[in-house]
Structure 1
Amino acid sequence: MTGQIQNRQAFIEKISQKLKRSEVPSAIERPQWAYTPQYNVLRDKTQDELLEVLQKQCKLINTTCKVTQLADLQEAVYETIQSYGGGPVIAWQDERVQQYGLSELFNERLPKEQVTVHIWDPVIGRENISLAEKANIGITIAEQTLAESGTAVLLSHKNHGRTVSFLPEKSIILIPKSTIVPRMTQAAVEIRKRILQGEKVPSCINFISGPSNSADIEMILVVGVHGPMCMTYIVIDDL
């Protein structure tokens, strides 16, 4: 059923009268602000400096942050999986998995060691969610990462199930160094740019800042209340 807007013109005219306008405007012009402090924080930092900011922030949000060259990524992911107690592992279906050289790890090396790996498959529908719920580790890839807050930006779509990032007990997020940005401002600008260019941006965009935390009860911090108890960011030096 398609919704309908009732009394729209009357409502707009009333607002215009309250704003003391002589007539209802036919279009709205985007304001030009004299000051834009949101763009200034960390604006002049290099990628190396943004990485340093991210690493410091990760210590505050109980997140392990590793840095590796692309050639050593497979070993870094393998070691992290081992430190987290092995599988089951669930990961996104993403072309970057092959680009980063992780196909051999997921399809051969881990299965040979009796570590179960499931790659998200839209064909099997909700069975993916059941597998994510049973998984020990979920592996995702950040589209951007905000240095200021240590926040990974994850785009969900049919091959990127959002449950991969919050149902498993542990989480590994791969972060290309080139995609680290100062803060939320730059992430929002990039998302808007994609939309204006006609790109179909997912309706579900997750901003994840380390393992789940809650201090609602007597300001006592509890980790892992409604999501992963442990999280590792693996920054790939792709520059």
Structure 2
Amino acid sequence: MKGLILNRDSFLEKISGRLSKTDWTKEIEKPKWKYNPQEKTLQDKSADDLLEILKEQCKNILTDLIVTNKAELSYSIRTIVSNYGGGPIVTWKDDRFKTYGLSQLFNEIFPMENIKVHEWDHTLIDENIKFAEQANVGIMISDITLAESGTAVLLYNKDRGRTISFLPTTSIIIIPKSSLVPRMTQAAKFIIEKIQNDQSVPTCINFITGPSNSADIEGKLVVGVHGPVKVTYVVVDDS
């Protein structure tokens, strides 16, 4: 049932009058800017160039980055998990894990090593959150990656629980090389185009730039205040 908006017209007329606008119902024409510097920033960079920019930015955001391919991805993930102290692990339910050859790692190798892996199940809300709270590692895949800021953009849905990105102690974010774009400009365009094409847009989209950190208290940087204390980006050459 839709809610009712009471006295909307009279309210908007009052605001319009205070702003000296006579007709608030008239559609506002979107301005056409002569210069659009946000479009030109890094526009001439190749995927390899963007990767180098991402590498440098990761040094600034306290994030480890390794580059691998599909054949070596499983070994890379296994090594990182070991360096992080093992499981438990919580992951999205995402067909891309199978595409990247991680099914055996999650379903066979890790269990054989007594590392528990929990795949998000949207029918088990409380159990999912409880496991994410206890997990040492959360594993996700970036949908769009902003080279300039070192930001992974995560588009959530019922099979991609958002708590996986901030409740586990550490995070591994798989970065498809094809997901690299220059900056926020391209991410915004991607989302706007989906809306204009009547495509589904998640109610929750996270822009994650390395581990959680805050410098609110006395200007001192503290890592892990409200999220993972360590983050590793694993760039996969998916060309």
| Structure 1 stretch displaced more, 192-201 or 182-191 | 192-201
In the alignment, structure 1 residue 192 sits paired with structure 2 residue 201:
no
Distance 1:135 1:21, change over 3 A: closer
Distance 1:168 1:47, change over 3 A: same
In the alignment, structure 1 residue 62 sits paired with structure 2 residue 62:
yes
How many residue pairs get aligned? The number is 239
**Alpha-carbon distance in 1 for matches of 2:62, 2:144:** 19
In the alignment, structure 1 residue 71 sits paired with structure 2 residue 71:
yes
Name the structure 2 match of 1:164: 164
Q: State the shift of 1:218 in Å.
A: 1.0
The one-letter code sitting in structure 2 at the alignment partner of 1:56 is E
1:122-149 CA distance string (max 9 Å, x none): 1212210000000000000110111111
Name the structure 2 match of 1:88: 88
Q: State the shift of 1:238 in Å.
A: 1.2
Q: State the shift of 1:21 in Å.
A: 5.5
The one-letter code sitting in structure 2 at the alignment partner of 1:55 is K
Percent sequence identity over aligned pairs: 55
Distance 1:20 1:217, change over 3 A: closer
1:128-187 CA distance string (max 9 Å, x none): 000000000000011011111111001111100011111110100001011111111110
| Structure 1 stretch displaced more, 51-60 or 24-33 | 24-33
**Alpha-carbon distance in 2 for matches of 1:45, 1:93:** 33
Uncovered stretches (5+) of structure 2, i.e. residues with no partner = none
**Alpha-carbon distance in 2 for matches of 1:202, 1:96:** 18
Uncovered stretches (5+) of structure 1, i.e. residues with no partner = none
Computed over aligned residues only, the root mean square deviation of the Cα atoms, in angstroms, reads 1.6
Name the structure 1 match of 2:183: 183
The one-letter code sitting in structure 2 at the alignment partner of 1:195 is I
Name the structure 1 match of 2:29: 29
Which 4+ runs in 1 deviate beyond 3 A? 6-26
Q: State the shift of 1:15 in Å.
A: 5.3
SS in 2 for 1:101: coil
The one-letter code sitting in structure 2 at the alignment partner of 1:80 is I
In the alignment, structure 1 residue 115 sits paired with structure 2 residue 115:
yes
Q: State the shift of 1:24 in Å.
A: 4.7
| Structure 1 stretch displaced more, 198-207 or 99-108 | 198-207
